Amino acid sequence: EVRMGKGKGNVEYWVSVVKPGVILFEVSGVSATAAREAMSLADRKLPFSCRFLSREELEQY
- What confidence score (pLDDT) does residue 34 get? 94
Which structural domain, as residue segments, surrounds residue 40? 26-61
- Please state, in angstroms and rounded to a whole number, the distance separating the CA atoms of residues 24 and 41: 14
Our count of domains for the chain comes to: 1
Whether 43 maps to a domain, the answer reads: yes
- What confidence score (pLDDT) does residue 2 get? 58
Whether 35 maps to a domain, the answer reads: yes
Whether 13 maps to a domain, the answer reads: no
Distances (CA, A) of 15 to 4, 18, 39, 43, 50: 24, 10, 22, 18, 18
- What confidence score (pLDDT) does residue 12 get? 87
Q: pTM (2 decimals)?
A: 0.60
pLDDT in tens, the chain (61 residues): 656 766 677 788 889 898 988 888 888 999 989 999 999 998 899 888 888 888 888 888 6
Whether 11 maps to a domain, the answer reads: no
